[in-house]
Chains A and B, each alone.
Chain A
Amino acid sequence: MMAKNRPRIALVIGSGSVKCASALGLMKVFERENIEVNLVVGCSGGAIYAALIALGWPVEKATEATLRMWTHEVTGKRSSRAMLQLALPWIYKFDESFGLIDDRLLNRRLRDGFDGATFAQTRIPLFVTAADLYNGEQVVMSAGTIAEAVRASISIPYIFPPHKVDGRFLVDGYLSDPLPIGVAIKEGADIIIAMGFESPYQEQVSSLMRYNFQISSVTSNNLLKTNFAFHNLAHHSEIIPIIPEFEQRIKLFDTNKLPYVIEEGERAAEQQLPYIKQLLGR
């Protein structure tokens, strides 16, 4: 007689820049408890950690890889083309590939950081989400090089140029769904561990760019809530939200706060652990 199938567990890591490293803390707890994750979905910052987890890299190696990839320098060089586009739009035509930052260093860092790995090399299935700039649809990537998919998923509007994958211009995944639980549902997960983060609001709206960021936070937080509410209601398997709380403000490049972020992820996972174990019949 065949044994009853074990429930398939999916980990979904939403957008949230450096805060997404909380997922490493969660994995620490899961490893200790021998809880196996069967597939990982990542969006924006979450895509980086989803990929590291899918590759099966231990927490230390994953932390090191993050520190190598994600530093201030990746936004250090302004794109000269973007400057010309803003200053002389009648000569340097504005187009969909606009981004204020020269992304060559970022692209190189991602390639090196993921060591050229492809989706085929992951130990468990990995799905990375982005949004199509032309029609707003969610795009799910599960083949090719990981660095390319992650690059598309973290194309923060205005900052990094959209990334072209298979002929589509892709922007940051949070524009279509900041916490892509729907992907795990479609992949047939029975238990979905959903790690999500709210976008921070600006302390002061002192420039057009900050104003933009504020509006982005407003809309993406509303999108997060409403998508989560829908999936929770529509889906008949279990969705377990894990929302780490941060007393310290974590900014885009606060990689020096990684240990703290990982710790908070651990703490948030511990809180839900009794319930997860109960679901697993332990």
Chain B
Amino acid sequence: MKPKKRIALVIGSGGIKCAAAIGMWRVLQDEGIQVDSVVGCSGGSMYGALIAKHADVGEMNELSKVMWTSDIMQGYTANLKASKDGTLRFNERSGLVDDTVLNEKLKQVFGGLTFADSQVPLKIVATDMLTGEKVTLSEGSLFDAIRASLAIPIIFPPWEVDGRLLIDGGASDPLPIDVAIQDGADIIIAMGFTLDYRIRFRSMTAVQEQLNSIYMNNILTSTYAFYNLAHHAEIFPILPEFDRALSMFDVDKIPDVVERGEQATRQQLPHIKRLLSSFQEI
């Protein structure tokens, strides 16, 4: 008999939109589709870590409510002003936001956990701030890995892991399908998100966010096109659609985000199931 086909789940960067992974997880569990490894990037790394440890949907919903609130952005406006008039000196370890609250929240959920606590292999992707390279983390503290992967450039300070200064994985690869490819996955379910564009530019940070969106969306499109072409295993894209731009703190919209994730997964379900059954027949 042929060995079972390995299924990998990849959850890309997308801030609050990554909560759509909860909907995907619900569908996969309902349908009894077993996931053999998980890759997460930026916001996707939090949900990826919970899926890898087989958390239940309720626990994941709880995390969403805790995380996406405006208090994680404390000091932002004041620090922005201070950086403009020069009282706040910037260096490679700086961010505009004081990350105390963010760190506390992440520790509440992931403190004390390590990669070894996962039920299936988990990889988290970040970017080396100084060399621009993609960095894949797969051991040690989950908090450290997620915190690094989440370090939105300029907003949150970079995070040091094993002597390297790391920032948001989205800066090198917002949907790191290749990590799953390298691990030998046969079927890759990839949930990705495009960043929203603005229609108004009322501040310098608005311009910065727009530039980030342009870069990351272009990297997303082109890496996705490349992996699809280069890889011979099956890649199922799950790209939830949203009617309107979501702010990072639209906590009340989370049930809708989860629902969209579920819908997008169900759309691909017949294809995934057909592929799985064709493998089983062999």
Pairs of residues from A and B, 10 with the lowest C-beta to C-beta distance, nearest first? A136-B214, A205-B92, A218-B132, A219-B215, A230-B226, A215-B153, A96-B201, A208-B90, A208-B83, A226-B222
Contacts A175-B215, A206-B90 given; does A94 touch B206 at CB 8 Å: yes
Q: In the complex, which of the residues A89, A133, A176 contacts B218, with contact meaning CB atoms closer than 8 Å?
A: A176
Q: How far is the CA of A130 from the CA of B94 in the complex (A)?
A: 31
Known: A135-B197, A230-B222. 15 other contacts (CB 8 A): A95-B200, A98-B207, A175-B215, A176-B214, A201-B132, A206-B90, A211-B90, A211-B92, A212-B208, A216-B211, A216-B215, A220-B215, A222-B134, A222-B172, A226-B226
**Which B residues lie within 8 Å of A177 (CB)?**
218, 222
The answer to whether B201 and A210 have CB atoms under 8 Å apart is no
* B37 at the A interface (CB under 8 A): no
The answer to whether B210 and A221 have CB atoms under 8 Å apart is no
Q: How far is the CA of A201 from the CA of B130 in the complex (A)?
A: 7
The answer to whether A223 and B91 have CB atoms under 8 Å apart is no
The answer to whether A98 and B204 have CB atoms under 8 Å apart is yes
Tally inter-chain residue pairs, CB-CB below 8 A: 123
Contacts A205-B91, A214-B92, A219-B219 given; does A157 touch B132 at CB 8 Å: no
User: For residues 189 through 219 of chain A, which have their beta carbon under 8 Å from a beta carbon of chain B?
Assistant: 201, 204-208, 210-212, 214-219
* A234 at the B interface (CB under 8 A): yes
* B277 at the A interface (CB under 8 A): no
Q: How far is the CA of A217 from the CA of B167 in the complex (A)?
A: 13
User: For residues 70 through 109 of chain A, which have their beta carbon under 8 Å from a beta carbon of chain B?
Assistant: 86, 89, 93-96, 98
The answer to whether A86 and B84 have CB atoms under 8 Å apart is yes
The answer to whether A175 and B130 have CB atoms under 8 Å apart is no
The answer to whether B94 and A211 have CB atoms under 8 Å apart is yes
* A69 at the B interface (CB under 8 A): no
A–B Cβ pairs within 8 angstroms, 17 of them: A86-B84, A94-B201, A96-B201, A98-B204, A131-B214, A136-B214, A136-B217, A175-B218, A201-B132, A204-B91, A206-B89, A212-B208, A217-B132, A219-B132, A219-B172, A222-B172, A226-B219
* A158 at the B interface (CB under 8 A): yes
Q: How far is the CA of A210 from the CA of B89 in the complex (A)?
A: 11
Q: How far is the CA of A52 from the CA of B163 in the complex (A)?
A: 46
The answer to whether A133 and B210 have CB atoms under 8 Å apart is yes
The answer to whether B229 and A234 have CB atoms under 8 Å apart is yes
Write the chain B residue with the least CB distance to A95: B201
Proximity string of chain B (187-211) to chain A, C-beta cutoff 8 Å, 1 when within and 0 when not: 0000000000111111110111011
Which residues in A have some Cβ–Cβ distance to B below 8 Å?
86, 89, 93-96, 98, 131, 133-136, 157-158, 171, 175-177, 201, 204-208, 210-212, 214-223, 226-227, 229-230, 233-234
Q: How far is the CA of A18 from the CA of B131 in the complex (A)?
A: 22
* B141 at the A interface (CB under 8 A): no
The answer to whether B173 and A86 have CB atoms under 8 Å apart is no
Proximity string of chain B (80-99) to chain A, C-beta cutoff 8 Å, 1 when within and 0 when not: 00011000011110100000
The answer to whether B226 and A233 have CB atoms under 8 Å apart is yes
Smallest Cβ distance from A130 to chain B, in angstroms? 12
**Which A residues lie within 8 Å of B223 (CB)?**
226
**Which A residues lie within 8 Å of B204 (CB)?**
86, 94, 98, 158
Smallest Cβ distance from B154 to chain A, in angstroms? 6
Write the chain A residue with the least CB distance to B201: A96
**Which B residues lie within 8 Å of A229 (CB)?**
226, 230
Smallest Cβ distance from A199 to chain B, in angstroms? 9
Q: How far is the CA of A226 from the CA of B227 in the complex (A)?
A: 10
**Which B residues lie within 8 Å of A211 (CB)?**
90, 92, 94, 153-154
Q: How far is the CA of A96 from the CA of B210 in the complex (A)?
A: 10
